[in-house]
Amino acid sequence: MRSKLLMANWKMNGSLMSIHDLLAECLGKSAEFNKAGIAIFPPNIYIPTVSEQLRNTPWSWGGQNVSEYENGAYTGEISAEMLKDYNCRYALVGHSERRQLYQETNEMVVKKFQRIDATGLIPVLCVGETLKERQHDQTEQVVTQQLESVINPLGISVFEHAVIAYEPIWAIGTGITPTPEEVAAVHGLIRRIIMFYSKNIGEKIAILYGGSVKAVNAKELLNLTEVDGGLVGGASLNASEFVEIMRCIN
């Protein structure tokens, strides 16, 4: 059986003091909930502090974004190697906020995915459709394209150590979620696509759901057989809420 994963994407939130307190509270309240692997994605500048605080815990951490380049004159960017220096386990790639606000194309996503993989970090590839695409019945097509744009150039073997997060864009930060049936359908599609290329990888890859996951809906969304856990934004900034989500997965 695939083990569950719960990821906290803090986005550009928090301060040195508040993230320390948030993490301490989460760790303190969650001791008995150990069913899901937990990973925290702080803003890059706080990764050293978070890695220090999580050092002797089973929790992991990762970067929200990496440069598609190995190093060089790319002002403001952070490389996968730099994340590795701080023992990051994961890096998000293709998050819809990166795709939409920073015009990241599928081609850039491929390059970033490759850098993350080559560095020995685990890419967490985010895919998902806009509201308009869903209304036009294009969900399947969009998600397939997002996946195949990585599989085709890099080969299926890069998914051996990868995680996929299905995040319908219209559900992110809006409080609106798809129904459990809609989530199950897209997760089923994603697994079928991966299995088409490799049965073995398709059977074991973790496929997470993300988009307005909260304590009130975590049970019905994250415990579906098709869902291997969640990628949580807003609700991960509140310790009680996040711990409650952890409890739901247990």
Binding site for ligand PGA (CB under 6 A): 9, 167, 172-173, 210-213, 231-235
Q: Which is nearer to ligand PGA, 96 or 114 (CB)?
A: 96
Query: How far apart, in whole angstroms, are the C-alpha atoms of residue 166 and residue 241?
Result: 21
What is the smallest separation between the CB atom of 216 and ligand PGA, expressed in angstroms?
A: 13
Active site residue 187: no
Q: Which is nearer to ligand PGA, 156 or 163 (CB)?
A: 163
Q: Which residue type sits at 215?
A: A
Query: How far apart, in whole angstroms, are the C-alpha atoms of residue 201 and residue 30?
Result: 31
Active site residue 70: no
What is the smallest separation between the CB atom of 88 and ligand PGA, expressed in angstroms?
A: 17
What is the smallest separation between the CB atom of 95 and ligand PGA, expressed in angstroms?
A: 6
Q: Nearest residue by C-beta to ligand PGA?
A: 233
Torsion (CA) 222, 223, 224, 228 in degrees, nearest 10: 60
Which one of 68, 95, 133, 187 is the catalytic residue?
95
Q: Which long-range contacts (CB under 8 A, 24 or more apart) does 29-35 make?
A: 29/239, 29/240, 29/243, 30/243, 30/246, 33/243, 33/246, 33/247, 33/249, 33/250, 34/58, 34/250, 35/3, 35/4, 35/249, 35/250
Query: How far apart, in whole angstroms, are the C-alpha atoms of residue 176 and residue 51?
Result: 32
What is the smallest separation between the CB atom of 214 and ligand PGA, expressed in angstroms?
A: 8
Q: Which is nearer to ligand PGA, 104 or 167 (CB)?
A: 167
Look up residue 4 and give its DSSP letter.
P
Q: Which is nearer to ligand PGA, 187 or 202 (CB)?
A: 187
What is the smallest separation between the CB atom of 193 and ligand PGA, expressed in angstroms?
A: 21
Which one of 68, 97, 104, 167 is the catalytic residue?
167
Q: Which is nearer to ligand PGA, 147 or 231 (CB)?
A: 231
Which value, in Å, is the radius of gyration of the alpha carbons in the chain? 17
Residues noted as catalytic: 95, 167
